[in-house]
Amino acid sequence: MNPQLPHHYREILLGLGENPEREGLLDTPKRAAKAMQYLCHGYQQSLEEIVNGALFASDNDEMVIVKDIELYSLCEHHLLPFIGKAHVAYIPTGKVLGLSKVARIVDMYARRLQIQENLTKQIADAIQSVTSAAGVAVVIEAKHMCMMMRGVEKQNSVMSSSVMLGAFRESCNTRHEFLQLIRSK
């Protein structure tokens, strides 16, 4: 762990008017620093290392879809969580990606400071660059603690963002098929 981080958290506690010497807070700077580093561990990962060669030859050219991938991220404006689901689809052109890798790619980008729109685009671009797919679609639906716990305090609003590349952008049918598949339970 970066040895400076606990020190900074102690300063934050002081800044909030707390007493970092009281019993309940004694280990909080260390714990909070550790937690925050875990929540941002995506900075320590790279796409190459995550994919690690898990690309398999396939003559399947039908849509591959992975839906309801749990997503935990932190908004870069408030450092507060946003939590939701990602749905990812692509149309292979000779190569398919190991299934767990799709979820790990989502996680790598989610575990960085983000805004939802950029996260959606980064996931789509990564899947595209790794698979050379004929098209990639990513939809993220998430609840933002910075909206729910502060500001407008809207408890039930879900933000939805999508990025469509290639066939998903060009063909209405392909896009509709994907959107129907992620809506069906």
Q: Which residues participate in catalysis according to the annotation?
A: 75-78, 116, 144, 146
Coil, strand, or helix at residue 34? helix
Which tokens hold the place of 179?
A: 């959107």
Work out how close the CB of 159 gets to Zn ion at its nearest, in angstroms, rounded to a whole number: 11
Residues near Zn ion (CB under 5 A) are 75, 77-78, 146
What gap in Å lies between CA 65 and CA 160, rounded to an integer?
18
Work out how close the CB of 138 gets to Zn ion at its nearest, in angstroms, rounded to a whole number: 20
Find the residue with minimal CB distance to Zn ion.
146
Angle at 152 between CA 147 and CA 157, to 5 degrees: 55
Report the residue number, 55 or 159, with the smaller CB distance to Zn ion: 159
What gap in Å lies between CA 180 and CA 185, rounded to an integer?
10
Report the residue number, 64 or 75, with the smaller CB distance to Zn ion: 75
How many helices (H) and strands (E) are present in the chain, helices listed first? Answer: 8, 7
Work out how close the CB of 39 gets to Zn ion at its nearest, in angstroms, rounded to a whole number: 14
What gap in Å lies between CA 180 and CA 158, rounded to an integer?
19
Report the residue number, 75 or 167, with the smaller CB distance to Zn ion: 75
